[in-house]
Amino acid sequence: MVTQPGIARRAAGSLFIVSGGQTGADRGALDAALAAGIPCGGWCPRGRRAEDGTVPDRYPLRETPAAEYPQRTAWNVRDSDGTAILHQGRVDRGTALTERLARRQGRPVLLLDVRSARPAELAAWIEKERIARLNVAGPRESRAPGLQALVTRFLRDAFVLVTDARSR
């Protein structure tokens, strides 16, 4: 599950979804991956800490040594080829940290408002950047009500497009 910071990018092959398990965008990404049969995982804080208590066991995540969110965020960025930040027009502090860390590590970053973006935009970016391990981040559900369901639907459609493109 854990990769080295200098992971190689691949043009083809399977997609792996990385996410931290927080409510909102994180869980929407994991729900979409699990529904589509796409491998997923990532890091969550010690104790599987989340705003609603604990991250449910159905999400295949590993715990970081720290209970705070920044370590989880940093490790998920580190273990990915690129980060898609999915939001509803407003990015919170934790999401801004994700973007800063990805840019600092030279990883591609894409910010999309899932209310107006098209899944094809994300799919094209994944292929252009040769993403094999996609970190998906965004605001938590309490700061963006309804985001988890929107992200799940958005990513299900994007995953179909990526899978189709990679099977050719």
Can you list the domains of the chain with their CATH numbers?
A: 16-167 (3.40.50.450)
CB atoms within 10 A of CB 115: 12
Q: Is the pLDDT of residue 13 over 80?
A: no
* 57-106 pLDDT per residue, tens: 999 999 999 999 999 999 999 999 999 999 999 788 889 999 999 999 99
Listed residue (54, 65, 53, 26) closest to 42, CA to CA: 26
pTM for this entry: 0.91
pLDDT given for residue 3 in this prediction: 36
Confidence (pLDDT) at 11: 32
Which pLDDT score, from 0 to 100, does residue 94 have? 87
The answer for 130, left when phi > 0, alpha when psi is -120 to 50, beta otherwise, is left
The C-alpha atoms of residue 37 and residue 74 are separated, in whole angstroms, by: 26
**Strands of the chain, DSSP E:** 16-18, 40-41, 43-44, 49-50, 53-54, 62-63, 82-87, 109-113, 133-137
